[in-house]
C-alpha cells in the first residue's frame, strides 16, 4: 500500500483543506492507543559500535590469571626453601667446630755471660770471624723449608703460614724502630687479638713470671745506651712445620740474630763495635682464620741473649755488654723455693767464643752454628 494510511476509526473530523492547519501533526486518541510502544535497551540505544568497555578475549584473560597463579606459587616455593635452609642451619646433624681461643705466651729468657772481656773491632772485621762469615744478611737468612701439603692444610695454606712467621721475625728482630723501642705496632698487628692484651702488658709492665717478658715477644735494646753500628744484621736458622691437630698448624722457628752494637754516647770509633747475639726459638700456631687474616699465635718463646751479666734483668729490654766490658761476678738473681707466689726463672748461661774455628755443622733439629751457651740442662717453658 502506498500513500498515507488512514486512522483505524476513519478519517479525521475535519476534511482535507479544512480549517485545522495542524491536522497533520495531531493524532487522535484511537491512533495513539493503537500505536505499539517499544523501549530499546541501553546496548541497542548505544549502537553496535559504541561500546564503553572492550571485552578481553578469553585466551588473554586466561593467560593473565594463569600467570598470577604461577607468580604466587613461585613466591610460596621461595619462602618454603628459605625456611627449610634456616631450619637445617639451626638443626644441622654435623657437629660445629669449637671456637679456639689463643693461649697465653710462655716465655723463657736466658742471659749469656762472657768468660772474659768482650772483644771489639769494626763491624766488617767482626762479621768476618767464624762462623758468622756464613750467615746471611737480614731477611735473606730466614728461608722456607720444602713445602708439602698435610692432611688438612694445602701447600698454599702452609706457605701463607710460613710467610706470616717470616714477617713476624723480620718485624720483631730486624726492624730498627722496634729494636730501639720506638714502635711496637708492626709486631702487634701480626698477633692474634686474644694475645694483644698480654703483649701490651708485657711491654708496658714487664715481669719475670714466664708470661710477661717483653724480650720474649721481640728484640729490644736501651736506645740511651746502645745503637746499631751496622744495620746489616746477620741471620741464620731454620723453619719447620707440622699439623698438630685437625685445623691447627704449628710452625717452629729457630734463628740466631747477630747485631753489631756500639755505645750511644762518646766518640764513635771505627773499631769500637762489639757483637751481640740473640737466639730465638719460637713456636707458632695457626687456625684457618689466622691464615685468612695473616696473623699468628705465639705459643712459646725460648730466648738466649749475650753477652750480658747473669744478674741483668733482661725481661724488659736486653742489656748488652759492649767492647772491653766484663760480666759482673754476681750470678743469677736468687730464687727462694719457700716463697709463695709465682716463681721466677733464675737462669743464666756462658757465652762461647765467637771466633772458634771448630764448630759443628748445622743439622736439622740441632742448634744453628754461632754463639752458644755452655749449659748442662736446657729448661723448657
pLDDT tens by residue, 263-305: 998 777 888 999 999 999 999 999 999 999 999 999 999 999 9
Q: Determine the Cα–Cα distance for residues 306 and 208; give it in Å rounded to an integer.
A: 18
Identify the pLDDT of residue 81: 87
Residue range 257-266: mean pLDDT, rounded: 93
Nearest-angstrom CA–CA distance, 266 and 268: 6
pLDDT of 62: 58
pLDDT at residue 142 greater than cutoff 70: yes
Residue 362 — very low, low, confident or very high, per pLDDT cuts 50/70/90? very low
pTM for the predicted model, two decimal places: 0.68
Decide if pLDDT at 172 tops 60: yes
CB atoms inside a 10 Å sphere around CB 291: 21
pLDDT recorded at residue 242:
97
Show the DSSP H helices in the chain as ranges: 29-34, 42-46, 58-90, 123-127, 155-173, 176-179, 185-188, 196-204, 214-217, 288-293
What 3-state class would DSSP assign to 341? coil
Residues in contact with 70: Cβ distance below 8 Å, sequence separation at least 6, in sequence order: none
pLDDT band, residue 85 (cuts 50/70/90): confident
Ranges 3-17, 20-34, 113-127, 362-376, most confident: 113-127
Model confidence band, residue 365 (pLDDT cutoffs 50, 70, 90): very low
Q: What is the dihedral of CA 339, 103, 200, 142, to 10 degrees?
A: 110
Assign 194 a pLDDT band (cuts: 50, 70, 90).
very high
CA distances from 200 to 154, 193, 194, 197, 381 (A): 33, 11, 11, 5, 21
Amino acid at each position: 500500500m502506498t500513500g498515507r494510511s488512514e486512522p483505524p476509526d476513519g478519517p479525521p473530523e475535519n476534511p482535507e483543506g479544512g480549517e485545522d492547519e495542524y491536522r497533520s501533526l495531531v493524532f487522535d486518541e484511537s491512533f495513539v492507543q493503537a500505536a505499539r510502544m517499544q523501549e530499546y535497551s541501553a546496548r541497542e540505544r548505544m549502537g553496535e559500535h559504541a561500546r564503553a568497555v572492550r571485552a578481553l578475549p578469553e585466551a588473554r584473560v586466561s593467560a593473565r590469571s594463569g600467570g598470577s597463579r604461577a607468580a604466587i606459587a613461585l613466591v610460596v616455593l621461595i619462602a618454603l626453601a628459605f625456611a627449610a635452609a634456616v631450619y637445617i642451619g639451626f638443626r644441622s646433624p654435623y657437629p660445629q667446630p669449637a671456637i679456639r681461643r689463643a693461649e697465653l705466651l710462655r716465655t723463657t729468657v736466658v742471659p749469656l755471660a762472657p768468660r772474659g772481656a768482650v772483644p771489639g773491632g769494626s763491624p766488617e772485621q767482626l762479621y768476618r770471624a767464624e762462623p758468622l762469615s756464613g750467615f746471611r744478611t737480614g731477611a735473606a737468612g730466614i728461608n722456607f723449608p720444602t713445602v708439602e701439603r698435610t692432611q688438612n692444610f694445602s701447600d698454599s695454606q702452609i706457605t701463607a703460614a710460613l710467610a706470616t712467621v717470616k714477617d713476624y721475625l723480620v718485624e720483631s728482630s730486624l726492624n730498627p724502630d722496634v729494636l730501639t723501642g720506638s714502635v711496637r705496632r708492626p709486631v702487634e698487628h701480626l698477633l692474634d687479638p686474644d694475645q694483644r692484651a698480654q703483649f701490651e702488658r708485657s711491654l708496658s709492665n714487664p715481669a719475670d713470671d714466664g708470661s710477661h717478658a717483653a724480650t720474649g715477644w721481640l728484640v729490644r735494646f736501651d736506645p740511651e745506651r746502645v745503637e746499631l753500628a751496622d744495620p746489616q744484621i746477620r741471620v741464620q736458622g731454620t723453619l719447620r712445620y707440622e699439623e698438630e691437630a685437625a685445623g691447627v698448624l704449628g710452625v717452629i722457628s729457630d734463628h740466631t740474630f747477630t747485631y753489631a752494637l756500639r755505645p750511644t754516647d762518646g766518640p764513635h770509633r771505627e773499631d769500637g763495635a762489639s757483637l751481640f747475639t740473640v737466639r730465638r726459638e719460637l713456636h707458632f700456631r695457626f687456625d684457618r682464620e689466622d691464615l685468612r687474616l695473616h696473623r699468628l699465635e705465639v705459643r712459646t718463646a725460648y730466648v738466649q741473649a749475650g753477652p750480658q751479666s747473669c744478674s741483668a734483668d733482661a725481661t724488659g729490654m736486653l742489656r748488652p755488654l759492649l767492647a772491653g766490658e766484663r760480666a759482673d761476678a754476681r750470678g743469677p738473681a736468687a730464687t727462694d723455693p719457700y716463697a709463695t707466689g709465682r716463681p721466677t726463672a733464675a737462669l743464666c748461661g756462658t757465652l762461647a767464643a765467637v771466633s772458634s774455628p771448630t764448630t759443628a755443622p748445622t743439622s736439622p733439629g740441632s742448634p744453628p752454628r754461632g754463639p752458644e751457651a755452655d749449659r748442662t740442662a736446657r729448661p723448657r717453658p
